[in-house]
Amino acid sequence: MGDGPIMLNQLNQKHEMIRSTVREFAETEIKPIAGALENEAVFSVELTHAMGDIGLFGMVVPEAYGGQGLDYLAYIIAVEEIARIDGSQAATVAAGNSLGINPLLYFGTEKQKQKYLPDLCKGKTLMGFGLTEPDAGSDAGASRTRAKKDGDDWIINGSKMFITNSATPISKGTIVQTNTGASANGKPEHTCFVVENGTPGFSAVSMKNKMMWRASNTAELYFEDCRVPGDAILGNVGDGFKQMLHTLDGGRLSIAAMGLGCAQGAYEAALHYAQNRKQFGKPLTKHQVVAFKLADMHTQIEMARTFLYQTCRLRDSNQPFAKEAAMSKLYCSEVAKSVTDEAVQIHGGYGLCKEYAVERFYRDQRLLQIGEGTSEMLKLVISRAIGC
């Protein structure tokens, strides 16, 4: 039927087992309720806990901190399989790992790791990553949220927006990038803090009426003389921008996986529809114009998968991968755009109705060309990496 990837990527038995396990979970636990959660724009605590129970959070975290101790490719395969069914739940998993857990794992103090990682890895709690602001999107270095030292504490003022996982009933807090003055060369100095929900002066408000990922949580964050202790600093003062860039490199792979999974889900839905829908006395798949569309879709998906997996292997072998991460995210998001558009076209009028999954895939893919670096910014990153 063509509903699985061809094995150009030579996955090992563990990777295949992870794909099979996550696919079965997504088919049986997420698919039956995805439409209802999306229509009602409801974040599901129960489903998040269930995803935690099967190990979808903290996949690359060492077992000593409650994680699975797997490689990054295993994690990316898991995100891909969730996105194949539902972008909202994939967003919860991707942000929970790449933006919530990984900064603590790579930059947190031992005390912070011991305090936060075990529950985050079990899916009992979630952590956001506060970077984007109303006037600082692609220009993340223009952050206006400021932290000022006051004795042993810091006082934070400012706001963030479009922050995933920060305002759920199980959100523990948010890692917040702030401006803490100027460095020796006169450039803005950025520092990240772990700010827990419930801290006086900090509020996280869920954003409503989204076009896509309606069953995931997106929040606006407000800081009004929010006082945090010195041990809330992630790493060291002034390391925030470096931490942000490292986090985005890994996060781009998870967004690429979401694009890949979204494209795969839309392609499978279109193929199934075309095999069963008859026009002019024969299935749509027997009409060359439709068959060629499906062939193009399948080719794009397999090329995207091959490059994304190879980029994950670069990361897993500790080789430079920033350029390839940008390329993967750019290409996979553009493939999702192309494939979902053709999937709707193949469905005709039915593709515009919520009863058909391609309608949701079509909306969900639109953020993929914006989040974790817009397509335009990624082209800038790539062009600089090749010497332009």
> What is the identity of the amino acid at 365?
Q
Same structural domain for residues 101 and 56?
Answer: yes
Same structural domain for residues 248 and 368?
Answer: yes
- CA-closest candidate to residue 129, choices 115, 118, 143: 143
* Residue 22 phi, psi dihedral angles, 5° rounding: -70, -35
- 2 belongs to a structural domain: no
CATH of the domain at 120: 1.10.540.10
Residue 133 bridge partners (DSSP)? 136
- pLDDT tens for each residue of 202-232: 999 999 999 999 999 999 999 999 999 999 9
Distances (CA, A) of 278 to 35, 208, 353, 355, 359: 26, 40, 19, 19, 21
What's the pLDDT at 143? 79
Same structural domain for residues 247 and 380?
Answer: yes
CATH of the domain at 193: 2.40.110.10
**Residue 316 burial by CB count (10 A; 0-12/13-18/19+): exposed, middle or buried?**
middle
Confidence label for 238 from pLDDT (cuts 50, 70 and 90): very high
Same structural domain for residues 148 and 271?
Answer: no
To the nearest 10 degrees (0 to 180), the angle between helices 240-276 and 72-83 is 50
Given 126, 155, 187, the domain boundary residue is: 126
Please give the distance of CA 51 from its chain centroid, rounded to a whole number.
Answer: 15
- CA-closest candidate to residue 122, choices 60, 55, 217: 55
Distances (CA, A) of 6 to 25, 285, 295, 303, 313: 21, 20, 14, 10, 18
Same structural domain for residues 229 and 262?
Answer: no
CA dist 208 and 205 (Å) reads 9
Q: Tally the domains of the chain.
A: 3
Same structural domain for residues 110 and 12?
Answer: yes
- pLDDT tens for each residue of 356-383: 999 999 999 999 999 888 999 999 999 9
Q: Which of 59-63, 118-122, 138-142, 315-319 has the lowest mean pLDDT?
A: 138-142
CATH of the domain at 263: 1.20.140.10
Confidence label for 162 from pLDDT (cuts 50, 70 and 90): very high
The residue count of the chain comes to 388
What's the pLDDT at 14? 93
Give the per-residue SS3 of the chain: CCCCCCHHHCCCHHHHHHHHHHHHHHHHHHHHHHHHHHHHCCCCHHHHHHHHHCCCCCCCCCHHHCCCCCCHHHHHHHHHHHHCCCHHHHHHHHHHHHHHHHHHHHHCCHHHHHHHHHHHHHCCCEEEEECCECCECCCHHHCCCEEEEECCEEEEEEEEEEEECCCCCCEEEEEEEEEEEECCCCCEEEEEEEEECCCCCEEEEECCCCCCCCCCCEEEEEEEEEEEEHHHECCCCCCHHHHHHHHHHHHHHHHHHHHHHHHHHHHHHHHHHHHHCEECCEEHHHCHHHHHHHHHHHHHHHHHHHHHHHHHHHHHCCCCCHHHHHHHHHHHHHHHHHHHHHHHHHHHHHHHCCCCHHHHHHHHHHHHHCCCCCHHHHHHHHHHHCCC
- 101 belongs to a structural domain: yes
What's the pLDDT at 9? 56
- 299 belongs to a structural domain: yes
- pLDDT tens for each residue of 72-122: 999 999 999 999 999 999 999 999 999 999 999 999 999 999 999 999 999
- 1 belongs to a structural domain: no
What's the pLDDT at 2? 45
% of the chain at pLDDT higher than 70: 97
Residue 260 in tokens: 């890949």
Catalytic, out of 16, 342, 372, 376: 372
CA dist 168 and 71 (Å) reads 28
Same structural domain for residues 256 and 379?
Answer: yes
Residue 157 bridge partners (DSSP)? 146
- pLDDT tens for each residue of 171-192: 999 999 999 998 778 788 999 9
Tokens 């989204």 belong to residue? 210
Q: Which domain holds residue 352?
A: 242-385
What's the pLDDT at 184? 77
- 150 belongs to a structural domain: yes
Residue 341 in tokens: 């558009």
Same structural domain for residues 46 and 117?
Answer: yes
Residue 156 bridge partners (DSSP)? 147, 226
- Residue-wise over 256-281: b if at least 16 C-beta within 10 A, else e? bbbbbbbbbbbbbbbbebbeeeeeee
Given 210, 238, 266, the domain boundary residue is: 238
Given 238, 272, 295, the domain boundary residue is: 238
| Euclidean distance between the first and the last CA atom of the chain, given in angstroms as a whole number | 44
Same structural domain for residues 39 and 84?
Answer: yes
Confidence label for 140 from pLDDT (cuts 50, 70 and 90): low
Active site residue 16: no
